[in-house]
Structure 1
Amino acid sequence: MSKDFSFLNEDFDDLRDLLQQFENLRTGKSHSFLDEDSFEQIIDYYDERDEMPIALQAAEIAIEQFPYSSTLLLKKANLLIETKKYNEALDLLEKAAILDRTDINLYILQTDVYLALNQHQKAASVLEEQIEQFEGEDRIDLLLELADVYDDWEEFEKVFDCLKMALEYDPNNEEALHKICFWTEFTGRNEESIRLHTAIIDEHPFNHLAWFNLGTALQGLKLYEKAIDAYQYAVAIDEKFDYAYRNMGDAFIRLRKFADAIEVLQKHLEIAKPEDVIYEAIGHCYEKQRKYTQARYYYRKASHLSPNDDKLYYKIAVAYMMEANWDNAIKSLHNALKINKNSAEYNMSLGECYLELEKHKDALIYFMNAVRARPKSPVVWQELLKGLYVAGFLEEALSQLVTAEEKAGRKPIFMYYRAAILIAMGKTKEGLLHLETALQQAPKIVKKLVELDPAILQHVSVVDLIAQYRRKS
């Protein structure tokens, strides 16, 4: 059954007739009478098409015929603002105010002028003085406009105050509810937001946005269990509320309830457009569950949506590394490095993979790259020293150890590594002296020495020295 859209053709024909009549008027030809409403349509038409000179001409002709129309004065003032003729616009707005002070567009346009002139105080004053004079939607519109002024002015606490006032007046205003969610997080006024939205819910228990905002405020205070309860109310009211599922997933992850997080994030995927961050979050959950195949699957789905995100290739690599699948890890790490070649983390991980495959020279190349990228990081130096030690380049390891302490500071881990290197070089007494110093300063990280070379425990003197400090601690 076909639908009748003839009314659209009628509207178009009417507008076409108006435009022809106006064209006749401005060119001096015979024309029909144009009333005030007709002029408004004509002005809007040319304004929307960015034909500003004709729109202004239409406004001027209209005002000549209807000099006491505040609406037409406001139309022209708006055009003048668009063309950056601010002083002329203010003059017109003063005339319009004499004719009619009940049109909120008057104050919004005045605000636009003062903002354009970077006069935020005047812009705010105009609205502050008028808010109490209006009721209903007009008051809300002025409060929302004032919130935007304070945002532009960077008076962020006052933005929150305006939105709070708007919701106290109209608890179901969706624009205010959407905006205050962001500003609660931005200003950290979570406790106030909780009180506000709890009061709204008491009066309007099926307001899903209020439940959602309550959840985000609770989450802002790290009250994740309560936040989840609020989100569950939100999705019970609106089962397609995708942002509630997203936030609920994050809350479950914070609680390390990864199976629950996966369930709600999968629900998000069912009702919303696929996003890389959602796939990545699901991959993270599977990784935490040590389900590395599933983790890689979702990281890859994320990377298909965001192919230039090097972190995703790195996460795929880590999931391979956790399974000791070094060759595939290396492939993913090279993909990450193609995007971000100066990442110390990626170079360091590549070094680790090559070290596991006993490709020592390749490993050392990437460890050196990591050191160049982050020369003040003890962790990066630690990996280079480990690579040199495992590869048997003990003299070079000792030399690089001196440089490491110069660049990254004299850390206890370096003392342990010096002890291991010296003992491996046959300088046992000197090595034991350094080991004793390290045990005095940081006995708890002696495990790093054993991780470097488990065979070091075959030295009775090393075992005795470690045991001695364990008894003391």
Structure 2
Amino acid sequence: MNQDFPFLNDDFEELKDLLQQFENLKAGTSHSFLDEDSFELIIDYYDEHDELPNAMQAAEMAIEQFPYSSTLLLKKANLLIESKKYQEAMDLLEKASILDSTDINLYILQTDVYLAMNQHEKAAALLEEQIAVFEGDDKTELLLELADVYDDCEEFEKVFDCLRLALEHAPNNEEALHKICFWTEFTGRNEESIRLHTNIINEHPYNQLAWFNLGTAYQGLKLYEKAIDAYQYAIVIDEKFDYAYRNMGDAYIRLRKYAEAIDVLKKHLEIAKPEDVIYEAIGHCYERQRKYTQARYYYRKASHLSPGDDKLYYKIGIAYMTEANWENAIKSIMSAIKINKNSAEYLIALGQCYIELEKNKEGLIHLLAAVRIRPSSITTWQEFIRGLYISGFYDEALIQLDAAIQKVGHKPVLQYYLAGIMFATGKSKEGMLQLETALQMNVKHVKKLIELDPTLLQHPGIVELITRYKKTKKNK
């Protein structure tokens, strides 16, 4: 690299020479003179390389030679702050302020001392006072510093206020633009952000960060179409703006425009480092389009980048289940369970696969395991009792139904299952009574009974009873 940029070699040789001169000066073997700028370079070198004792010695020797240099006093104060000698640092900063009160670094270092001493109010008051004095870039920097102070003391609304003021003063400041994007979402002040960034864009229409922030503010209000328009402007200005593609993909997904989401997320993959969340999002879009082969492909790509993410293997399994590919579904779900053994959701899916393969014993073992993990969940009980019903274990289904009611209460779905068990065991009259009770509890949940056993719709009395209750509900 230095062969391409010869001046880097020159700078390095000059710094080496200065460091040698300093070592000679410390050893008393040289009478050479180091000017103020040279001492600054030496102090910065040692500070950057975490050689604090050498940096401090250089600062002390420099101040001895140049006692009226406010810059050197500030450098030593900074070293004292790093050494956690806060009072000494503050005394030195007071001295520096007498020599030069126009150096912004003086106030930033004083702020650092106040924060280190947990005196946030003093830090904020100091910065607020100086913000009224300074102009230009210095004013912006102080506003950003004040935002950090308010962040430190968890006054988050004031953080947003500082960043808004910074952007009103310097609309193209990248640090403020980056930070306000996060704080808009955190504080929920999307309307203010829209007004602010609209004003910036009116004055600076090629500010891609302002367009991006406008998009995120619209997205925060669930105005996805407007968000997409803003992201598209950002991409026109900077076609490699990867976060704009990412957010636009999310907006398209929210609008259920999966083909468009896939296009922009694939564009993100072309210009940015591959990420598991992007592959997963593309997989989700293909799954929503019922393109399960492509969905699995992208879920696998995500799992290669994040092999410890159990939900990715589960999603691959679900995609197989949707195609009734039970054997492959089991393999994928088992991979998820190896990572997360305590997921009732995974155990339910695994149990369902085994039951579909008529391996009812294995299926029921996993469904029971799901109940034991989440005994207060209606879903786990529902799936276990359904498994028992499908397997023909009606007496056990009744026992577990009673246990479920004890744990989760008398839910409508359990009442429908009770009716189903009565019909399955030939107790049609009792079944009709239980079904009527279930319909009185919740007509909508009758679909759970039909899912449990579609053949019940062949029973004229059942159909007539359901139809009557549905009509009664509609008339109400």
Give your verdict on TM over 0.5: yes
What one-letter code is carried by the residue in structure 2 that aligns with 1:92? Answer: L
Please state if 1:23 is matched with 2:32: no
Partner of 2:127: 127
Please state if 1:435 is matched with 2:435: yes
User: Secondary structure in 2 aligned to 1:133?
Assistant: coil
C-alpha displacement of 1:411:
0.1
Partner of 1:382: 382
RMSD: 1.4
- Counterparts of 1:171 and 1:463, CA distance in 2: 68
Please state if 1:363 is matched with 2:363: yes
Partner of 2:303: 303
C-alpha displacement of 1:9:
2.7
Asked if the contact 1:385–1:397 (Cα under 8 Å) also holds between the matched residues in 2, the reply is yes
- Counterparts of 1:456 and 1:231, CA distance in 2: 53
C-alpha displacement of 1:186:
0.6
- Counterparts of 2:6 and 2:205, CA distance in 1: 43
What one-letter code is carried by the residue in structure 2 that aligns with 1:253? Answer: I
Asked if the contact 1:22–1:31 (Cα under 8 Å) also holds between the matched residues in 2, the reply is no
Partner of 1:172: 172
What one-letter code is carried by the residue in structure 2 that aligns with 1:42? Answer: I
- Counterparts of 2:11 and 2:469, CA distance in 1: 92
Partner of 1:329: 329
C-alpha displacement of 1:189:
0.5
Partner of 1:34: 34
What one-letter code is carried by the residue in structure 2 that aligns with 1:152? Answer: D
Instruction: Provide closer, same or farther for how the CA distance between residues 4 and 330 of structure 1 changes in structure 2, counting only shifts above 3 A.
Output: closer
User: Secondary structure in 1 aligned to 2:222?
Assistant: coil
Asked if the contact 1:415–1:435 (Cα under 8 Å) also holds between the matched residues in 2, the reply is yes
Partner of 1:241: 241
Partner of 2:225: 225
- Counterparts of 1:261 and 1:462, CA distance in 2: 45
Please state if 1:207 is matched with 2:207: yes
C-alpha displacement of 1:424:
1.9
Asked if the contact 1:215–1:227 (Cα under 8 Å) also holds between the matched residues in 2, the reply is yes
- Counterparts of 1:10 and 1:26, CA distance in 2: 25
CA deviations over 1:7-48 (Å, ceiling 9, x no partner)? 323222222222222222222223201111111111111111
Asked if the contact 1:350–1:363 (Cα under 8 Å) also holds between the matched residues in 2, the reply is yes
Please, what TM-score do these two structures have when normalized by structure 1?
0.97
Uncovered stretches (5+) of structure 1, i.e. residues with no partner: none
Partner of 1:316: 316
What one-letter code is carried by the residue in structure 2 that aligns with 1:83? Answer: S
What one-letter code is carried by the residue in structure 1 that aligns with 2:434? Answer: H
CA deviations over 1:33-86 (Å, ceiling 9, x no partner)? 111111111111111121111211111111111111111110110001001111
- Counterparts of 1:361 and 1:409, CA distance in 2: 27
Equivalences for 1:20-419 in 2 at 5 Å?
Answer: 20-419=20-419
C-alpha displacement of 1:3:
5.3
CA deviations over 1:334-387 (Å, ceiling 9, x no partner)? 011011111011000111111111110111011011111211111111100000
- Counterparts of 2:373 and 2:305, CA distance in 1: 29
What one-letter code is carried by the residue in structure 1 that aligns with 2:285? Answer: C
Asked if the contact 1:21–1:31 (Cα under 8 Å) also holds between the matched residues in 2, the reply is no
What one-letter code is carried by the residue in structure 1 that aligns with 2:298? Answer: Y
CA deviations over 1:404-426 (Å, ceiling 9, x no partner)? 11111110110111111123223
- Counterparts of 1:467 and 1:170, CA distance in 2: 68
User: Secondary structure in 2 aligned to 1:154?
Assistant: coil
- Counterparts of 1:317 and 1:388, CA distance in 2: 23
User: Secondary structure in 2 aligned to 1:444?
Assistant: coil
Partner of 1:465: 465
How many residues end up aligned between the 2 structures?
Answer: 472
- Counterparts of 1:162 and 1:470, CA distance in 2: 59
Asked if the contact 1:355–1:363 (Cα under 8 Å) also holds between the matched residues in 2, the reply is yes
Please, what TM-score do these two structures have when normalized by structure 2?
0.97
- Counterparts of 1:374 and 1:201, CA distance in 2: 52
CA deviations over 1:209-261 (Å, ceiling 9, x no partner)? 11111111011111111111111111111111111111111111111111111
C-alpha displacement of 1:165:
0.7
- Counterparts of 1:296 and 1:171, CA distance in 2: 45
What one-letter code is carried by the residue in structure 2 that aligns with 1:22? Answer: F
What one-letter code is carried by the residue in structure 2 that aligns with 1:292? Answer: Y
Asked if the contact 1:416–1:435 (Cα under 8 Å) also holds between the matched residues in 2, the reply is yes
What one-letter code is carried by the residue in structure 1 that aligns with 2:258? Answer: F
Uncovered stretches (5+) of structure 2, i.e. residues with no partner: none
CA deviations over 1:120-145 (Å, ceiling 9, x no partner)? 11111111110122122111111111
What one-letter code is carried by the residue in structure 2 that aligns with 1:56? Answer: M
Asked if the contact 1:318–1:329 (Cα under 8 Å) also holds between the matched residues in 2, the reply is yes
User: Secondary structure in 2 aligned to 1:416?
Assistant: helix
- The alignment-based identity, stated in percent, is 75
What one-letter code is carried by the residue in structure 2 that aligns with 1:237? Answer: I
Stretch deviating more after TM superposition (424-433 or 385-394): 424-433
